[in-house]
């Protein structure tokens, strides 16, 4: 086997060669791809009667929302002439982005190789998703910066009024969160602080922490 994969022994010789050629071409096309990493694994025919090869598509250098997403394509022993691949898009993001298109590709394959089309569809979804998520992050950072500046001004005004009216007593609290990742949540923290006229800072990631003072 040129790919070094252990492809199901129950496959006919011609079908096995077609599958080897398709997998080799796929790996060559997507080697060093900017948006996805393609991993191919042959399945032991002694343990898997029906499946021959599994192809996993993993987003590369992606925002947090996509880092744990992956798509699994299972090529069955009768592929491509008698069976179609089974595709698990892996997460709602891919289902929403390319679920219908992948289903259409599989429906129209009609005995022809379609692995490249499926992987390319996922790669396009990753590319578009990365662009949109990064744009959202940029907008969220800009909004957070605006809110922080507004908050600073509000606190300065409150401090000025406090000096005029008497002693100001400062309190602090530390809030724990399982995680703070989404730009919307980070923006909401700043917005709520502004609404309540409180100051502080937050730690992004796992876990998330919010230090509040006011």
Please work out, in degrees rounded to the nearest 5, the angle formed at the alpha carbon of residue 45 by the alpha carbons of 40 and 47.
100
Model confidence, pTM: 0.60
- 35-44, 99-108, 122-131, 153-162: least confidently modelled range: 153-162
Q: CB–CB of 20/6 below 8 Å? A: no
pLDDT at 50: 55
Q: Which residue did the predictor score with more confidence, 155 or 55?
A: 55
Reported confidence tier of residue 9, pLDDT bands at 50, 70, 90: very low
Average pLDDT score, the chain: 78
């Amino acid at each position: 086997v040129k790919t070094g994969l252990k492809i199901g022994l129950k496959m006919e010789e011609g079908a096995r060669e077609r599958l080897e050629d398709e997998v080799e071409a796929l790996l060559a096309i997507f080697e060093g791809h900017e948006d996805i990493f393609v991993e191919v694994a042959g399945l032991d025919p002694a343990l898997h009667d029906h499946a021959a090869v599994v192809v996993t598509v993993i987003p590369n250098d992606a925002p947090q929302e996509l880092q744990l997403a992956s798509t699994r394509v299972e090529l069955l022993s009768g592929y491509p002439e008698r069976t179609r691949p089974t595709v698990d898009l892996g997460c709602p993001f891919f289902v929403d982005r390319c679920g219908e298109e992948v289903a259409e590709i599989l429906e129209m394959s009609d005995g022809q190789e379609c692995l490249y089309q499926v992987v390319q569809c996922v790669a396009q979804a990753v590319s578009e998703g990365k662009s949109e998520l990064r744009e959202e992050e940029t907008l969220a950072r800009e909004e957070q910066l605006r809110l922080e500046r507004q908050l600073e001004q509000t606190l300065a005004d409150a401090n000025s009024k406090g000096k005029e009216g008497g002693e100001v007593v400062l309190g602090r609290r530390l809030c724990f969160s399982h995680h703070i990742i989404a730009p919307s949540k980070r923006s909401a923290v700043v917005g709520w602080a502004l609404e309540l006229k409180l100051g502080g800072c937050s730690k992004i990631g796992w876990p998330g922490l919010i230090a509040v003072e006011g």
